[in-house]
Amino acid sequence: MNTLKEEVRKEPVTMILILLNILLFLAVELTGGSENVEHMLECGAAYAPYILEKGEWYRLFTCMFLHFGIRHIENNMLVLLVLGGRLERAVGKVSFLLIYLLGGVAGNVVSLLMDLDAVNLSVSAGASGAVFAVMGAMIYVLVRRKGRVEDITVRQMIIMAAFSLYFGFTSSGVDNAAHIGGMIGGIIMAVILYHPRKIRTSVP
């Protein structure tokens, strides 16, 4: 219990986001099923015709908090748990929240644009765009911090990102456009928001 309280104290935004995703997943699961496409649409999943023709732009945001099945949310929340707290401590609570939310929306916008040329339009949901935004931001922060943030090195982060992208491209039903868009969005947000103070040394 003390360990959990300590984690919440040190990385409140990360823990709140994880808790919010889990609670919404349970609510969707209990009210109609997280793998029921029609129910997911009712709950706010992204679907190009609804967004463009009906003007339901809020779906670019709400879809980040919905997941198709337990494995989907497990994978996203595990990565967020591993990286979120470290990035939150490095850039600050507000900056981390902006990276997560705006980076995630950026990923969903890229996904929407890619869907315009698709023959079969898909229903999209998941926090992976936002999670990839966290990855992209972490890579930038690692570079600015000369290759290390706590126990994570830039080499480890690049390998993790590359493996995650590879897994997406070699799997079916994965929104790779949201992943790439989220990662680029995360890097851009980190460039804008993260400005580490330089330590000045006085010369005697």
179 is catalytic: yes
Dihedral, CA of residue 48, residue 53, residue 54 and residue 55, to nearest 10: 80
Within 10 Å of residue 88's Cβ, how many Cβ atoms? 24
- Sign of CA pseudo-dihedral 66, 58, 185, 119: positive
DSSP type of residue 196: P
Q: How far apart are CA 10 and CA 93, in angstroms?
A: 10
Residue from 111, 124, 128, 164 carrying the catalytic annotation: 128
34: exposed, middle or buried (Cβ count in 10 Å: 0-12, 13-18, 19+): buried
Residue from 34, 72, 124, 179 carrying the catalytic annotation: 179
Q: Are 161 and 135 in contact (CB under 8 A)?
A: yes
The neighbouring-strand residues paired with 148 are 153
Q: Are 24 and 65 in contact (CB under 8 A)?
A: yes
Within 10 Å of residue 148's Cβ, how many Cβ atoms? 13
Residues with active-site annotation? 128, 179
